[in-house]
Chains A and B, each alone.
Chain A
Amino acid sequence: DVVLTQTPVSLLISLGGQASISCRSSQSLVHSNGNTYLHWYLQKPGQSPQLLIYQVSNRFSGIPDRFSGSGSGTDFTLKISRVEPEDLGVYYCLQRTHNPFTFGSGTKLEIK
């Protein structure tokens, strides 16, 4: 199975600051069709995960442009700029290129 390694495990960021989360894959996430199925989710306390970014860099409907995704192959990054109180929670990456789909272990974002 593809292993997704997320770092750091936790982040403590001041309001208005910037956060960066890494997701590294044990193998390339480029599908045979040329697409890269690496997505990012935020799970706020007491809620289900919500999709933020799909296919590396595309913001899902309603997601502010403070959230951006980048990367290719095996290395991917989620950046959150101008951190706001509602950004706290656990961030997960997910790969859907290879079966079975696999998730990273999560990065907890806390606000100073």
Chain B
Amino acid sequence: EVQLVETGGGLVQPGKSLKLTCATSGFTFSNAWMHWVRQSPEKQLEWVAQIKAKSNNYATYYAESVKGRFTISRDDSKSSVYLQMNSLKEEDTAIYYCTWGITDWGQGVMVTVSS
């Protein structure tokens, strides 16, 4: 059974940092292209970032809204993917989902950016 479990969310002040972790199981993680997708309080879904597999040189891609502030990374030995979020803004407030190929999704983790 495919499982994706996100952790690391919480309340953070604008300008601060937070790192999300997604631990996975049930599929061959090392071959997987992983994504982070977020859902705003208004329920709009937004693709955030992608990281490809080692065979694709771990290529990464970002939404313009987070480029330069967020970094996606992975540890194949731990079957985990991460999202380092720096210089957070109030508009980054959302539920963050980890997804495998945008096919299987985790349960999501809430990130609230507020002073």
Contact = CB atoms under 8 A, between A and B. Distances in A.
B and A form one assembly:
yes
A105 B44 contact: yes
Could you say which interface size class chain B belongs to?
A: 10 to 19
Interface residues of A, number: 19
A60 B45 CA distance: 20
A94 B43 CA distance: 14
B46 A103 contact: yes
Contacts, number: 38
Contacts of A39: 102
A44 interface: no
Interface string A81-102: 0000000001010101001111
Interface stretch (A14-22, A26-34, A47-55, A68-76): A47-55
Of the candidates B43, B45, B63, B64, the one having the most CB atoms from chain A within 10 angstroms of its own CB is B45
